[in-house]
């Protein structure tokens, strides 16, 4: 396993260079994970990109790593440098020599920039060239990536020249052997990109949002694809407009989605209630970050679970999916559109900054088996074109027929008030009970289609971690190092057959691991099953669990 970190202030293209190097390692056969940290600043602060590369699947970050590329002294000041590391640094221009440890490789950024007449941002290409030499990688493979990333001849020339000089500055390579493999069937993408691909595959027609980190890149990706895939993409004035536009588009027959973070979803809550009572399908992506209010915009947490489970007043049917990796994000997003339209409900895809913005390698997604299901749709009655349609009629499983505006004989109202079977507003007591009971009859059918918790690892392990969402990634990585731990992952949290969950928990030494302060899944489990999991490992500093950190806590504190 190889672990490389590139660090420096915002504005030096660290995220771009990290991704380029991740792609390079993927192309020569490695499985790659790229984890990025950055403050809410355009310039300054401290940014870093950690690249994990392994011959086997790899999916999560580590606190300890092998190589640090320090673009400026800010990296030396923010990282814990140890004797077993390699540090690439401009020795002539650093003021922090006292912080240096391990093997130091001089990389004269300032001299190369001056000789090349290049801007300071070209430091990242110098660094990449040096890494290529240090790790004994073919420069020709790297050059191919440069050409792809910089189609402008002028930009390519500058980056090629500076990278080549960085390459030439390194006098020796580490004893790293690369077993080059065919990587043509592997993708490298972020969680948000997986969501977008799932939505496009599902036939999304309308996407509306107001940008909010860490969900913003969903807007960027879909806006670039809207002409090719016939998607209306709206950058709205605020989140209230976004969800109301999406509800209107869904009412008109479009497959609709919104994406936001916790603060933006707070503004969408009233619209959520409208979608629920009007039984208008909608997919909502909520990518979590620390709060409340603005909180920590560019960091991660899992603290919106109970908010999403209970948002809006009163009680209504919803689905909350909690995918654990990019593959689940892709397929669950596809499924979310089918669930939303089949059952005429809001469906949530709950992600977080770590899963949404990190890069992962994965096998190409298979789509041959995927079928779009738009649910029950009224075909129309040309003989009675102006007749009102009993859209909310009492039926055995609670799922009435939808009708699209313009369908002959398909007239109905979709109000925000309680209503009768045609959508006319009424506060009749008997009707209220009929309508609420009818809506809740959908739940048993939904449960049959929801992914339930699954056990990973050796069945007889000493410790069973219970987790949800992106923590699947750290736990899969941790299983490489011990057979004393297994884990139960919740890929969805509502609705579930909780009797199956209770059976899965039997005779196990359970430990809850969550990225929040109050162990929100633990309280949901207690409410639904009566089982109170006493042991917890919680983290809520804006960072995900690092594999080595979690390993030490589980085997040191719990076992």
- Contact of 513 with 537, CB cutoff 8 Å: yes
3-state class of 508 per DSSP? Answer: coil
Domain 454-555 listed as CATH 3.40.50.1220: no
pLDDT, tens digit, 9 for 90 and up, residues 295-307: 999 999 999 999 9
Q: Are 540 and 513 within 8 A, CB to CB? A: no
Indicate if the alpha-carbon torsion angle 359, 360, 366, 371 is positive or negative.
negative
User: Which of left, alpha, beta for 443 (phi over 0: left; psi -120 to 50: alpha)?
Assistant: alpha
Q: What is the pLDDT of residue 558?
A: 73
Q: What backbone torsions phi and psi does residue 47 show, to the nearest 5 degrees?
A: -110, 145
- What CATH number belongs to 2-169? 3.40.920.10
Q: Are strands 67-70 and 2-10 parallel, antiparallel or unpaired?
A: parallel
Dist CA 346 CA 317 (whole Å): 8
pLDDT in tens, 189-237: 999 999 999 999 999 999 999 999 999 999 999 999 999 999 999 999 9
Is residue 48 within 8 Å of residue 34, measured between CB atoms?
Answer: no
The parts of the chain modelled with pLDDT lower than 50 are: none
The distance from CA 81 to its chain's CA centroid, rounded to whole angstroms, is: 30
Judged by DSSP in three states, 190 sits in strand
pLDDT at 179: 67
Main-chain phi, psi angles of 146, to 5 degrees? -60, -45
SS3 track for 511-535: EEEECCCCCHHHHHHHHHHCCCCCE
Q: Tell me, yes or no, if the pTM score tops 0.95.
A: yes
Helix (H) or strand (E) holding 266, with range, is helix 262-278
- How far is it, in rounded angstroms, from Cα 88 to Cα 194? 34
The domain 188-363: what is its CATH number?
A: 3.40.50.970
Domains 2-169 and 188-363 share a fold: no
Beta bridge partners of 481: none
> What residue segments make up the domains of the chain, in order of their start?
2-169, 188-363, 376-451, 454-555
């Amino acid at each position: 396993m190889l672990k490389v970190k590139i660090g420096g202030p915002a504005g030096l293209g660290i995220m771009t260079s990290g991704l380029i190097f991740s792609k390079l390692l993927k192309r020569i056969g490695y499985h790659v994970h790229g984890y990025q940290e950055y403050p809410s600043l355009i310039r300054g602060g401290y940014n870093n990109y950690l690249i994990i590369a392994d011959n086997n699947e790899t999916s999560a970050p580590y606190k300890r790593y092998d190589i640090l590329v320090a673009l400026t002294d800010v990296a030396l000041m923010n990282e814990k440098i140890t004797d077993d590391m390699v540090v690439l640094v401009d020795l002539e221009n650093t003021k922090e020599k006292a912080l240096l440890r391990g093997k130091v490789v001089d990389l004269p950024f300032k001299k190369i920039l001056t000789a090349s007449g290049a801007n300071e941002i070209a430091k990242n290409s110098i660094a990449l060239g040096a890494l290529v030499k240090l790790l004994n990688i073919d420069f020709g493979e790297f050059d191919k990536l440069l050409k792809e990333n910089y189609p402008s001849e002028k930009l390519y020339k500058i980056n090629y020249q500076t990278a080549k000089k960085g390459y030439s500055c390194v006098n020796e390579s580490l004893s790293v052997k690369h077993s080059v493999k065919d990587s043509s069937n592997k993708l490298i993408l972020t969680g948000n990109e997986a969501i977008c691909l799932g939505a496009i595959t599902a036939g999304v027609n309308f996407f509306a949002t107001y940008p909010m980190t860490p969900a913003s890149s969903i807007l960027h990706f879909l806006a670039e694809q809207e002409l090719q895939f016939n998607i209306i993409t709206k950058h709205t004035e605020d989140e209230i407009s976004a969800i109301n536009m999406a509800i209107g588009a869904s009412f008109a027959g479009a497959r609709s989605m919104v994406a936001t973070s916790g603060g933006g979803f707070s503004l969408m809550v009233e619209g959520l209630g409208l979608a629920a009572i009007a039984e208008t399908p909608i997919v909502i992506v909520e990518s979590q970050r620390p709060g409340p209010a603005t909180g920590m915009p560019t960091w991660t947490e899992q603290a919106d679970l109970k908010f999403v489970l209970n948002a809006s007043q009163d009680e209504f049917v919803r689905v909350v999916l909690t995918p654990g990796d990019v593959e689940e994000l892709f397929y669950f997003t596809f499924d979310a559109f089918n669930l939303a339209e089949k059952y005429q409900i809001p469906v949530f895809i709950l992600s977080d900054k770590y899963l949404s913005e990190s890069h992962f390698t994965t096998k190409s997604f298979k789509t041959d088996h995927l079928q779009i299901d738009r649910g029950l749709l009224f075909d129309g009655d040309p003989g009675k074109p102006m007749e009102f349609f009993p859209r909310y009629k009492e039926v055995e499983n609670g799922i009435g027929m939808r009708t699209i505006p313009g369908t002959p004989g398909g007239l109905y109202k979709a109000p925000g008030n309680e209503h009768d079977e045609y959508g006319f507003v009424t506060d009749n007591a008997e009707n209220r009970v009929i309508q609420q009971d009818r809506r809740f009859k959908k739940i048993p059918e939904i449960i049959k289609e929801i992914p339930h918790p699954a056990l990973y690892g050796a069945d007889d392990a000493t410790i069973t971690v219970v987790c949800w969402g992106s923590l699947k990634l750290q736990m899969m990585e941790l299983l490489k190092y011990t057979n004393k731990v297994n884990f139960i992952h919740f890929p969805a949290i509502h609705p579930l057959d909780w009797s199956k969950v209770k059976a899965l928990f039997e005779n196990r030494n359970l430990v809850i691991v969550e990225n929040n302060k109050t162990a929100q899944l633990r309280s949901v489990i207690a409410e639904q099953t009566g089982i109170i999991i006493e042991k917890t490992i919680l983290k809520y500093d804006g960072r995900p669990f690092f594999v080595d950190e979690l390993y030490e806590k589980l085997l040191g504190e719990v076992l």
